[in-house]
Amino acid sequence: MGWERRGSVYCLYHTRRADGRVVKDYLGSGHAAQLAADLIAEARDCRASIIKARKAEQDRLDYLDGAVDRLDRACDLMTEAALTAWGLTDARRRRRGTAAAAGADRRPR
């Protein structure tokens, strides 16, 4: 959006892209153009505040996602430690803490 001088009169033009080209729309001059400029500026400010709020919410969610990831890793570590301490097997039915866990029971291919 911009005011351009045409002779002694200032006219309001709103630029936009259409089919990859820049197109200027004439919005008038005088009080009507000033009202249009104010409405366009208000809409632009509203969009900017919405974008800012979305970014703040995304930052908050990213922080919480990181906290959940850390908690998940801590739970996995504690579960692994408890299973190892009890001598239970893992998903491949290998006994934890024995030579089988080191790969001694692998069958030749």
Cα torsion 69, 73, 79, 82 to 10°: value is -150
Q: Residue 29: beta bridge partners?
A: 11
pLDDT tens digits, residue range 36-95?
A: 999 999 999 999 999 999 999 999 999 999 999 999 999 998 988 888 788 776 655 566
Q: Where are the domains of the chain?
A: 2-86
Distance separating alpha carbons of residues 30 and 98, to the nearest angstrom: 88
**Confidence grade of residue 12 (pLDDT, cut at 50, 70, 90):** very high
Q: Residue 85: beta bridge partners?
A: none
Average pLDDT over residues 104-109: 54
